[in-house]
Chain A
Amino acid sequence: MERLGDSKMTCVLERKAQIKTNKHLTDHLYVMELIVEDIPSLVLPGQFVHVQIPGMEGHILRRPFSVYHTKQSENKLTILYQIVGFGTQKMTTLGAGDTVDVMGPIGHGWTIPATCQSALLVGGGVGAAPLYMHAQELYKADVSVDVVLGAQTEAALVCKDRYEALLGQSVPCSTDDGTYGYHGFCTDLVSKSLDKRSYDYVACCGPEPMIKAVCAITLDRGIPTFVSLEKRMACGIGACLSCVVETTNGLKRSCVDGPVFNASEVIW
């Protein structure tokens, strides 16, 4: 069991945020820019915000979203979201000037292993977003960073340009339909990358089956791997025990003990 204090990295704040833009990117993907005090400057890579969406009183729970990127000078925090249900569908109807209630930053995000020299980041679908700030941080820390992205279609590779601009190199991508890059799953690209050079750290986020498949490859090669897991949650601050993940160290809460976990301790 966790000891008191373990779950707290920083204070969780609650703030009113104003929507600056809410842009439709493709199919089910949207990007929302929020202007909010304090939280953008406190967010660490891999942390999330817990958002109450206005105008849906019959749906009482908040929705968790990993932070994609921030611009502290503008108090700006950006999230990438996918329509998966009523809440995210409702979010698409919000526009500039609308207000949402935001709790954050929440959770244990990514941490750079002390001896890390070369990192491989693997993002599937909307899971490319929670890795972006980590890529920035690794890049700043002079860690050699490679990124592999996968999505259903070329249009859904919405984070690619941002990663390429950061790294100054093209990012290997896979698409399920073959409209861009490698035709197939990004797990094949992960194997290829690992054959080409050695990495001492892998970070992965995406749909759970994809995370599982990536971990099977990287853990088999003995590479320390960290994953961001998203579970159904209610409170978002560690109280309700809805979002538990089974680990070799017992049940952990994905909201505050995660969302980033050492893959070697996760029991799939």
Chain B
Amino acid sequence: MAVNLEVNLGGLIMKNPVTCASGTFASGHEYADFVDVARLGAVTTKGVSLNGWTGNPTPRIAETPSGMLNSIGLQNPGVQTLMERDVPWLKEQNATVIVNVSGHSLTEYVQVVEALETCDGVDAYEINISCPNVDSGGLTFGTDPEAVNAVVSECRKRTKRPLIVKLTPNVTDITVIAKTAEAAGADALSLINTLLGMAIDPYKRTTILARKVGGLSGPAVKPVALRLVWETHNAVSIPLLGMGGITNGLDAVEFMLAGATAVAVGTANFMNPHATIDVIEGITSYCEEQGVQDVNELIGALK
């Protein structure tokens, strides 16, 4: 029995429900020894800003129980490099491409999307609203409904491509932000971004990360992510791209049961460089074993 794995994430047709989480896979080239990127439902590229950012000082990571903290600071070479170097490479490999868009101001998000509109190889956008907004003293866009509305509606005006909005879990009620993004024109939502955390070296009496706090990811966050996907699924009608600690096919199936149409594999890529492929194969085996003919049957199928 051949299982249908194709899903439609807000207008983005994915050959299977699996992509990589932005920032864990660069633009795919680094994983080419382990993964044929054309096999993925999509490749989500590392967050890109207008002219590039140098990122944060090191140490940028800390291993924590069943997870890790990172404060890379969205180091990236800017949208021009992505368009000239990374997107053409991905297209040569026949990959489906989601570009993760970052900005420190409303204007920057808009300018990045406008630049990418001139690039044929981009199949969808994922707007990372977890960036600090320099215009409002560094407050994260994604925690403020007004800022979310502004970013999403301005990006919406500039593109007909599928627009995915990536939500931060560091809010009191994620459904408020989710509904705001939906009303502002998002085609899909992705969640969760990392949870803010901290690691301390008791002997040095310092934080391990140079920036003191960072984003927690990995298996440790999976229960939190599942709960947030489920809550969001019950609150909006647009499809969800679920992520947070997925390392195998069964993890992915759990996210789909909670309401995700597609899933992203993030930190697991660091543990196992072919984790994305393992997740695709794991979903397929689950469907075969369970007599599921179409993976879409799993979406929100929690009893």
A:209-268 near B, CB below 8 Å: 231-244, 251, 256
Indicate if A165 sits at the interface (CB-CB under 8 A).
no
State A57–B268 Cα separation when bound (angstroms): 12
Which residues of A are found within 8 Å of B271, using beta-carbon distances? 52, 60-62
B:54-77 near A, CB below 8 Å: 54-55, 58-63, 65-68, 70, 72, 75, 77
State A52–B270 Cα separation when bound (angstroms): 10
Indicate if B111 sits at the interface (CB-CB under 8 A).
no
Q: How far is the CB of A74 from chain B (nearest CB, A)?
A: 25
Indicate if B286 sits at the interface (CB-CB under 8 A).
no
- Given contacts A61-B270, A103-B273, A240-B270, whether A4 and B66 have CB atoms under 8 Å apart is no
Of B59, B85, B271, chain A has the most CB atoms within 10 Å of the CB of B271
Indicate if B242 sits at the interface (CB-CB under 8 A).
no
Looking at the complex, which of B23-31, B118-126, B160-168 is the stretch in contact with chain A? Answer: B23-31
State A256–B89 Cα separation when bound (angstroms): 19
- Given contacts A60-B68, A251-B75, whether A239 and B269 have CB atoms under 8 Å apart is yes
Q: How far is the CB of B243 from chain A (nearest CB, A)?
A: 16
Q: Which residue of B lies closest to A245 (CB)?
A: B58
Tier of interface size on chain B: 35 or more
* Pick from B25, B60, B61, B62: contact of A239, CB under 8 Å: B25
- Given contacts A60-B270, A235-B270, A237-B30, whether A244 and B68 have CB atoms under 8 Å apart is no
Of A3, A14, A61, A62, chain B has the most CB atoms within 10 Å of the CB of A61
Of B33, B75, B267, chain A has the most CB atoms within 10 Å of the CB of B33
Indicate if A114 sits at the interface (CB-CB under 8 A).
no
B30 touches A239 (CB 8 A): yes
State A131–B271 Cα separation when bound (angstroms): 28
Residue ranges of A at the interface with B (Cβ–Cβ < 8 Å) = 1, 3-4, 7, 11-14, 52, 57-62, 103, 231-244, 251, 256
Would you list 8 pairs from A and B whose C-beta atoms are within 8 A, ordered by A residue? Answer: A14-B274, A60-B66, A232-B59, A232-B60, A235-B273, A239-B46, A241-B55, A242-B72
